Amino acid sequence: MKVLVTGANGMLGTEVMRQLDRLEIPAVSSTIDDMDVTKLDVVRDVLHRECPTHIIHTAAFTLVDTAEKDKLLAYQINAEGTKNIAFFCRELDIELIYLSTDYVFSGEKGDPYTETDPTDPINMYGMTKLLGEEYVRVLLEKYKIVRTSWLNGLGGDYSRNFIETMLRVAKTRSTLSLVNDQVSHPTFTFDLAQALVTLLDVNVYGNYHVTNSGECSWYEFAQEIFSVAGVEDITIRPILSEQFRSAAKRPRYSALENTRFKDLGLKPLPYWKESLKEYFRRRRLSDSLSVPQEGQSPKAMQQ
């Protein structure tokens, strides 16, 4: 087995590389500098050179609101980029794990979505990710499309994730209004990365929903973040989606049934509140590790 990871310096990609390294599985870390997935000839050359047996494709345009404006770039990376990867997976008989999202659904079902429910994205990011899924299903047989939701982790430029955003905002504001009618699963990259690496050895193909267990709204998620982080001097107010201006519409209830993952007898991912505590344990650890020594920058220490 030799696994190539795209988006290897991203929030999830970083954690997947750590997990492969931990299990001593031969892996190739691929960033946009190594292989821009929108460039067909570059994808051809890299995959012909590396000849991986498996690809975990995490590279994507993940700025949901910006995708409403930069539609073409989101399409080129999420749809065309995935098509390029899938095309050469077919030619070189490489198994593909493609990361997708709960945002392929409209959120109007009212119950958790199963892997076979009809999709109906309501924003450009979701549409481009769904187009990526379609290319994978048309071009390949040996694929796993893994849909997940609300990712948080300590890899890549993680300052953009919801937890860090809440902690940052709490430093400058005493009150905060948070949407309470959008519900899904906070999912942690360290749990998801373990599940993805486990799925490498599974020869049951198709769609999978893999998230941490339990669901909540953004408002409830923030309440728990501030409670675990010990942030007291902030008041948060629950609001409705229509009271919160954002460029992209977001599904109301996009919880995902992890049916097929469980049917394989694989251990469901932990309850999100437990993993939130684990996130802060790891965050404290990485903070303590990154206290710069005399004359040494934190960045230098990480390498």
Q: List, by residue number, the catalytic residues.
A: 125
| Residue with smaller CB distance to ligand NAP, 94 or 235 | 94
62 touches ligand NAP (CB under 6 A): yes
Helix 218-229 × helix 272-289 angle, to 10°? 50
258 touches ligand NAP (CB under 6 A): no
| Residue with smaller CB distance to ligand NAP, 14 or 180 | 14
Tell me the window of 33-41, 234-242, 275-283, 288-296 that interacts with ligand NAP (CB under 6 A): 33-41
H or E element at residue 226: helix 218-229
Rounded Cα–Cα distance for residues 287 and 303 (Å):
15
60 touches ligand NAP (CB under 6 A): yes
7 touches ligand NAP (CB under 6 A): yes
- CB of residue 138 vs ligand NAP: minimum separation in angstroms? 19
Here the tokens at position 198 are: 């486990």
112 touches ligand NAP (CB under 6 A): no
For 13, 30, 58, 232, 245, the CA distances from 10, given in Å and listed in that order, are: 5, 10, 8, 31, 27
Tokens 């959120």, residue? 107
Q: Where are the beta strands (DSSP E) in the chain?
A: 3-6, 27-30, 54-57, 95-101, 143-148, 151-152, 175-179, 183-184, 187-188, 206-209, 216-217, 235-239
Size of the site for ligand NAP (CB under 6 A): 27
140 touches ligand NAP (CB under 6 A): no
Here the tokens at position 292 are: 């710069």
Tell me the window of 3-11, 86-94, 217-225, 292-300 that interacts with ligand NAP (CB under 6 A): 3-11
Of 27, 43, 47, 59, the residue at the interface with ligand NAP (CB under 6 A) is 59
| Residue with smaller CB distance to ligand NAP, 159 or 296 | 159
Q: Is 295 left (phi over 0), alpha (psi -120 to 50) or beta?
A: left
| Residue with smaller CB distance to ligand NAP, 81 or 95 | 81
Of 3, 5, 10, 195, the residue at the interface with ligand NAP (CB under 6 A) is 10
For 130-175, what is the HEC assignment? Answer: HHHHHHHHHHCCCEEEEEECCEECCCCCHHHCHHHHHHHHHHHCCE
| Residues 64-103, mask of contacts with ligand NAP (x by CB under 6 A) | -------------x---x-----------------x-x--
- Which residue's Cβ has the minimum distance to ligand NAP? 10
What single DSSP character describes residue 243? Answer: G
| Residue with smaller CB distance to ligand NAP, 31 or 114 | 31
Residues of the shown chain interacting with ligand NAP in the complex, contacts defined by CB under 6 A: 6-7, 9-13, 31-32, 36-38, 58-62, 77, 81, 99, 101, 129, 148-151, 156
